[in-house]
Amino acid sequence: MTSEFAPAAWSGEGARLRLAELADLADLSEAELLELVECGALTPDEGTPGQWVFGITSLTVARTARRLREDFELEPHGVALLLRLMDRIRRLEEELRELQARRPG
Amino acid sequence: MKFKDYYAILGVERGATADAIKEAYRKLARKYHPDVSKEANAEARFKEMAEAYATLKDPAKRAAYDQLGRHGSDEEFRPPPDWSTQFGGDSGAFDGMDFADLFAGLAGHPRGRGRQGSAPAMRGQDYEIAVPITIEESFGGTEVSLDLTTTEFDEQGAPRRVPRSVKARIPKGATDGQVLRLPGQGGKGFHGGRDGDVYLNISLRPHRLYRASGHDLFLDLPVTPWEAALGTDAAIPTPAGTVKLKVPAGTRGGQQLRLAGRGLPTPQGRAGDLHAIVQIVLPPELTERERGLLRDLAAASAFNPRRHLE
C-alpha cells in the first residue's frame, strides 16, 4: 500500500486547457470537441477558434460527453442534446440551493 | 474470484439474441446511469450492468463467458485450465484479478498473447470520488486521504488490482459541486499510455448554523420584537470566529444583514459574504408583566399593517 501526497490541480479559475489537451484528458477527438462547441454544449472560457482556452467545467462536460456516448451508445446529436438538458438541470439545482440558503430555516 | 452471472444482471435468458441483450441494457441504463438516475446506489449498479453488457455484446467475449459454464452468483470459482489456454493466454495466474479482467484480454487489451506483436498504448483509467467536506474544512482548506483500488499491469500485461492510499490537499474555499483534478493518480497506463487521473467531486456537508451558496454563507439571526424595533448588538458566529454585528433600529423580519468578506475564501484571495437573515421571534411563554406591557403597547399604537388589505 503506497501513500503519497498528491499535488492537487486547483479547479475552476486555475485550469487553462488547449483543445488538444482537453481532447487528451477527456479521451475524445478534437473533431468531437469541435462538434460540441458548435452546438453549444461546450463553451471555451476565452480565445478565438484555434486559440481556445477551456476551464475545468469544460473538462467535466467533455468527460460527461464521452461517458454518455459510450454508456448510451449515442451519436453526437443525442449526446449534445443530453448535455444541454443536464446543464439546464444543474443550473436549476444551483438556483434552488441558493433560494433555499436565503430562506430562513 | 467470484463468478458473476451477466445474464441475470441484465435480466435476460442465456440464449438471448444480441438485440434482446442490447434492449435489456438500454432499459437498465436509462434507469441506473448516474448522470440521469436518482436511484440509490445507481453508480455501483450501473458499473455492474455495463460490465455485463461489455462482455455479452461482443461475440468473442460472450463465447468465452459461456464456456465458463453455469455457476451461482458470487460463487467462488476458477476458470477451467483449458479455458485459459483457449482464451486467456497465460494459464493459472488468476489471483488478484477481477472477474471482468478475464474478458479484457480478448479485444486489443494489453493482456493478450505476446505473439500478437506490439500492443497499442493504453491510457490508465480515470477515477471519480465523492468527497464531502464541512464548511470549516472548506474555509481553512484540508487534507483528505483516499483509498483507491487501481489497476496496474505486470510484465506479462496481466491486470492486477492494487490498493493504494492517496492524500490530497483540498484548497481553501472549495465550494459545493467543485471538481478537483489529481493528475496521474489514477490507473497506470500501459505501453506508453499515460496514467489516468483522479477527479474529486467536492460537496459541502449540511451545517448546524450556516447554509452555503457558492462562496456566500447564510445564517438565521433570531431577534426579539423590541430588539428589532430599538436596535441591538448581536454576537454572530462566523467560520473565522465570533464577530459583533449592529442590528439597526427598525430592522424588519426577513431582512438580510450582510457581513462582507465573512464567507468562504475565493481563489482570487478575496471571500464571499455572510448574510444574517433576521427572524423576529417571540418568547415561548409570556409572563403576566410582559403580557400587560404588550397590551399597553397595543393600546398606544395606531399602526395598522393591514391597511392595504382593507
Q: Could you give the CA distance from residue B1 to residue B211 in angstroms, rounded to a whole number?
A: 46
CB contact under 8 A, A9 and B216: no
User: How is residue A99 written as a grid cell?
Assistant: 433560494
Q: Could you give the CA distance from residue B224 to residue B284 in angstroms, rounded to a whole number?
A: 11
Residue position matching grid coordinates 444543474 = A90
Measure in Å the smallest separation between the Cα of B85 and chain A Cα atoms: 31
Residues 6+ apart with CB under 8 A from B279: A104, B220, B221, B222, B223, B253, B254
- Give yes or no for a contact between B253 and B280, defined as CB atoms under 8 angstroms apart: yes
User: How is residue A77 written as a grid cell?
Assistant: 446529436
**Furthest CA-CA distance within chain B:** 100
Measure in Å the smallest separation between the Cα of B213 and chain A Cα atoms: 5
What percent of chain A is modeled with pLDDT above 90?
48
Q: What's this model's pTM, rounded to 2 decimal places?
A: 0.82
pLDDT in tens, B239-289: 999 999 999 999 999 999 999 999 999 988 899 999 999 999 999 999 999
Q: What is the DSSP string of A63-93?
A: HHHHHHHHHHT--HHHHHHHHHHHHHHHHHH
Q: List for chain B the helix, strand, coil content (%; round to 5).
A: 30, 25, 45
Measure in Å the smallest separation between the Cα of A7 and chain B Cα atoms: 7
Which pLDDT band holds residue B135 (cuts at 50, 70, 90)? very high
Measure in Å the smallest separation between the Cα of A104 and chain B Cα atoms: 6
Can you give the length of chain A in residues? 105
| Interface probe, candidates B46, B178, B279, chain A, greatest A C-beta count within 10 A | B178
Residue position matching grid coordinates 450582510 = B258
Is any Cβ of chain B less than 8 angstroms from the Cβ of A75? no
Residues of chain B contacting A102 with CB distance shorter than 8 Å: 213, 218, 256, 275, 277
Nearest residue in B to A10, CA atom: B180
CB contact under 8 A, A1 and B163: yes
Is any Cβ of chain B less than 8 angstroms from the Cβ of A49? no
Which range is most confident: B38-52, B159-173, B210-224? B210-224
Q: Which of B82-91, B102-111, B234-243 comes out lowest in average pLDDT?
A: B102-111
With a threshold of 0.90, tell me whether the complex ipTM lies above it. Answer: no
